[in-house]
Structure 1
Amino acid sequence: MHRLVIEVDRQLYQQLENAAQAHHVSLEVECRRRLAALECQSRYVQAVLAEMRAEEEPQRAAGEQAT
């Protein structure tokens, strides 16, 4: 799996953490949710998300075959 590292300032990080807690999700899920909301606005974000989904697809397929 590839790792995406995003540098954010302390205030934005705190806002992300607060939103994650409010939605009862992990920080990663909150970031993905926000990226998905931006997907329609940015071709770059669309490309990054498409790459992430493509990388996860073999894992999903393997998980479905195991059940």
Structure 2
Amino acid sequence: MHRLVIEVEAQLYGELLEAAQGNRLSLEEECLRRLQGVQPHSRYLQALLAGLRADEEQRRASASDQLA
């Protein structure tokens, strides 16, 4: 299992917590839902997801180069 630690501003944390409660989800489930693209309203989360995807692509390319 991978672990991801995200630092967020207090306002965004409050908004995520409120959305989680409104959707009857845990905070973790709400974050995962947004990161999976179900409701990417936050520009911050969109940027974070784009960065994570870029890192993963770079990791895969690096692993592929090492195998060749």
How would you bin the TM-score normalised by the shorter chain?
Answer: 0.5 to 0.7
Q: Does 1:32 align with 2:32?
A: yes
**1:2 shift after superposition:** 2.8
Pick the structure with more helix per residue: 1
Map Cα deviations across residues 12-43 of structure 1 (whole Å, 9 max, x no partner): 0000000000000100000000001158x847
Q: Kindly report the root-mean-square deviation, in angstroms, between the aligned alpha carbons of the 2 structures.
A: 2.4
Identity fraction in percent: 51
Higher normalized contact order (CA 8 Å, seq sep 6+, divided by chain length): 1
TM-score by length of 2: 0.55
The list of structure 1 runs, each at least 4 consecutive aligned residues, that deviate by more than 3 angstroms after superposition, is: none
**Number of residue pairs matched?**
45
What amino acid maps onto 1:10 in structure 2?
A
Q: Distance in 2 between matches of 1:15 and 1:2?
A: 25
Instruction: Please list every run of 5 or more consecutive structure 1 residues that lacks an aligned counterpart in the other structure.
Output: 48-67
Which residue of the partner structure matches residue 3 of structure 1?
3
